[in-house]
Amino acid sequence: MKKIFALSTIIAIIVALTCCKKDSISGKKPVLTFKSVSATDVSKDQRLLSFTLNIKDASGNPTSLYVRNLRGPGGPNANFDQLIMPGLESHAGVKLDAELILYVSDQPTDSIFLRLRDGDPNRPNPDTLEYQIFAVSNKADSSNMIVLPKVAVHR
């Protein structure tokens, strides 16, 4: 009886340890996931919008983020714009699990590449932003492509 109890206890511990393993970052490709957006309905007085993402990379070397505005000129057939990510050389070869914030602004003094409003008076009010994005590592490994939530922008 003691042997059966000891054996079942050992099996239970092994099962518990293997089932509760933390998710690991594996594979060569970066992985992008959407976390949140600062607003889904932007008032005409609001000048900044931010999308919070999570990026995981087994080699720790994502270098660029590619963004396409699905509601802008060209729509889903438009070219992707490349946004260079900050240098992560210190993370090279290390598993990276980081938060990434993508800013969209219409402040004339901002050096932010993505614009909240384009100034075209023929655009509908409210207008809609919807971005499709993916990341690329310095070894040319491409992440999954995700579509960010639609955001209504009032003029």
Q: Hey, what domains does the chain have and what are their CATH numbers? A: 23-153 (2.60.40.10)
d(Cα 48, Cα 13) in Å, to the nearest integer? Answer: 51
- Token pair in block for residue 80: 């992707």
Model confidence pLDDT, tens digit, residues 50-80: 999 998 887 767 778 899 988 877 778 888 8
**Is the Cβ–Cβ distance between 52 and 133 less than 8 Å?**
no
Dihedral in degrees, nearest 10, Cα atoms 4, 5, 10, 16: 120
Instruction: Check residue 130 and give its pLDDT.
Output: 92
145 three-state secondary structure: coil
Tell me, yes or no, if the pTM score tops 0.85.
no
Percentage of the chain modeled with pLDDT above 90: 25
Model confidence pLDDT, tens digit, residues 15-53: 444 444 444 445 678 899 999 999 999 998 998 999 999
pLDDT higher at 14 or 84 = 84
